[in-house]
Structure 1
Amino acid sequence: MTENIAPDNQDTQNNLDTLPDSARRVALLLRERGHTKPVVMLPETGKTSAEAAAGLGCSVAQIAKSILFRRVEDDAPVLVIASGANRVDEKKVAAHVGAVGRADAKFVREKTGYAIGGVCPIGHAVPPVTLIDADLLELASLWAAAGHPHAVFNLSPDELIALTGAPVADVALRDAS
């Protein structure tokens, strides 16, 4: 499935008052950067890729999930924007940015300004080192978190690259068989 249709009556871009504060901040940032598609509020949580895909009627692969790591050498945040269908290979990420470790909820909130499940690819409290999963480039349409576990926005892979300025890399864990 490559064509996505947001749920009806969800034009929250035009009615920012209906958005939670964190999603409103993302909507304004997107607007500032010339992104014209609205932030959409899902009726159910979009904390997991499967939940978000079910709510949007798209494939899990089209969910551009934001996973934050902690770089070991300097505690810098490392953001990997991956296809919802992929698991991230930490060794591949480390080959690009240096050794990484898991980030706990407190680290995620402090470095991004967002709660886990709502981490947006942009607008972080501390600008992260960012990588984009190469598999996302195979898709015409993506959905990314918009600062809140129920908020998402639609974009193309090219728009994701333009918004983040991040390089594309092979970060997916591949089956060894």
Structure 2
Amino acid sequence: MCGAELKSLPESVQRVVAALQASGHAQLPRMLEDAARTAQQAADALGIVVGQIAKSIIFRRLSDDAAVLVVTSGDRRVDEHKVAALVGPVGRADAAFVKARTGFTIGGVAPVAHVYPPVTLIDRELFRFAEIWAAAGHPHAVFALAPQDLERLTGAPVADVVLAAA
């Protein structure tokens, strides 16, 4: 992307681009025609299976009001009890909390470039895939990466944080 293209992107996507470039990540965000607020919408837009979507789920840690980001495979559901066992008791985060802590709206929460660095956990189920796609700061923006890149970019541990597959 050139300078002019970057300036036309939403500010939240520009933050993600800057973080990716600073870390040497080669894959820059791609803007989709339609919003991809859900993992299924993103998968459909990209022509991939829903499990390849690295969805960002934000919780509120009860002890200190910290944001807890769980990056999970799009075909899995987060188990709050497993998350709490790793980081302490958590509760649901509303849209205002997500926006204030991350700088992103729900449906576009990137795993990087948060306003305040969250406590982050990566779902081990993402490692089933060679390539995954994550939100890039806006419901229309996504970027490609390998699960190992996600681990490197966030510095987060990989953990079992989902409900058992049916």
Deviations 1:94-149, CA, capped at 9 Å, x for gaps: 01001100000000001001000010001111111100000001110000000000
Distance 2:84 2:28 in 1: 34
Per-residue deviation, 1:38: 2.0
Q: Aligned residue for 2:134?
A: 144
Equivalent residue of 1:101, what SS? strand
Q: Aligned residue for 2:27?
A: 37
- Aligned residue identity for 1:33: S
Equivalent residue of 2:43, what SS? helix
Distance 2:157 2:67 in 1: 16
- Aligned residue identity for 1:147: G
- Aligned residue identity for 2:131: S
Matched, 1:68 2:61: no
Q: Aligned residue for 2:148?
A: 158
What is the aligned residue count? Answer: 164
- Aligned residue identity for 2:133: W
- Aligned residue identity for 1:23: V
Q: Aligned residue for 1:99?
A: 89
Of the three residues 56, 70, 81, the one matched with 1:80 is 70
TM-score (norm 1): 0.90
TM-score (norm 2): 0.95
Per-residue deviation, 1:164: 0.2
Matched, 1:170 2:160: yes
Q: Aligned residue for 2:49?
A: 59
- Aligned residue identity for 1:63: I
Per-residue deviation, 1:17: 3.0
Equivalent residue of 2:127, what SS? helix
Q: Percent identity among equivalent residues?
A: 57
Equivalent residue of 1:65, what SS? strand
Structure 1, unaligned runs of 5 or more? 1-12
- Aligned residue identity for 2:68: V
Distance 1:74 1:153 in 2: 31
Distance 2:144 2:7 in 1: 20
